[in-house]
Amino acid sequence: MEEWMKPGSMRDRFHGVLLGTAMGDALGMPVEGAPMDAIQERFGELREMKEARLGRGTVTDDTHMTLALAEALASTPDAVDLDVVADRFAARFRPERGYGGNARVILSEIRSGIPWRDAVERHRLPGGSWANGAAMRVAPVALAFLGRRDRVADAAVAQAKVTGHEHPVGTDGARLQALAVHSAVSLGDPLEPLPFVEELERHGEPWHPEVARALRWVRTHLDAEPEEAARNLGTGARASQSVPAALWAFLSVEGGAQESVVRAVNLGGDTDTVGAMAGALAGGANGASAFPSSWMEALEGGSLGADGLRAAADALYRTGTGRSDAR
């Protein structure tokens, strides 16, 4: 087998980011909004994909928007063209996939022909949205600008504008997730959890106080029990909760990609998004090959299935690494 195709290779890790997003999203979708104790009572521990509102193995807006951003970035190498990003978000917009209320309105208007800046301005929340909508989809930014951390951070904040996620909590959540995915892909497995968090803290300064507090908690409680993490970090849609929760789930387990995503989803709360973000991190470090075949086989088909996600990952692989050996 050629080196670039091997499990854990850079190309496998690119695939892992997008496929991990989808698998975490699909695993968490059936229990979205449920607290940890309700998931435990129903499943003991949720480890396999269950029937969801759109069928087993289906994904939400998390994967839709991640794929749309990947397509936009691959089509404009070395740039973040927000007009192209908005067009791709609108083209892939399917309201039944569970878009947040404000994003749903903005994307509906963009799809109807209203310029995205006008749509955002008409529906801008006071101070901008603090939710995790910009963070849940941001992982492709880390791949498009691999090896250029400052560009990753800037691009993460820029793409948040298209849906009005411009509150400092929302943009810092996107920046944190993008930088964490970048580090995971760059380092690969094994990585050292404590230095990983310390580097994120240093490179991202100054963080919003909510994000900085959560990062300190992650750094000092990598050995905490899941109940303690859910209670102290929170697992809601606020980016300062769900992004650190996904990071903690990724770093606090031994056992690879599957266990990170299982831990993330079983924290409860915004399970599809926490699962998607943990999946991007775990897939970035370990590669797509590290996920169980049962998850891969359960994913829905079409462009949101494994083939479509692999094609988007390969386009970013060519863009982010300058290599042409992914065809």
Structural domain boundaries in the chain: 3-321
Question: What is the model's pTM?
Answer: 0.96
Among residues 57, 56, 4, 101, which one has the least CA distance to residue 325? 4
111-118 contacts at long range (C-beta below 8 A, 24 or more positions apart): 116/82, 116/83, 116/86, 116/90, 116/162
Higher pLDDT, 239 or 6: 239
pLDDT of residue 272: 98
pLDDT of residue 101: 85
pLDDT above 90 for 322:
no
- State CA 278 to chain mean position distance: 7
- Find out whether 319 and 144 touch, Cβ atoms under 8 Å: yes
Using pLDDT thresholds of 50, 70 and 90, give the confidence band for residue 2.
Answer: very low
Place of tokens 């919003």: 208
Among residues 225, 229, 250, which one has the least CA distance to residue 241? 229
- State CA 42 to chain mean position distance: 26
pLDDT of residue 5: 58
Start-to-end CA span in the chain (Å): 15
CATH homologous superfamily for 3-321? ADP-ribosylation/Crystallin J1 (1.10.4080.10)
pLDDT above 70 for 3:
no
pLDDT of residue 255: 77
Q: Tell me: the pLDDT tens digits for 117-158?
A: 999 999 999 999 999 999 999 999 999 999 999 999 999 999
Place of tokens 């929340």: 125
Three-state secondary-structure class, residue 268: strand
Instruction: For the chain, give the mean pLDDT.
Output: 95
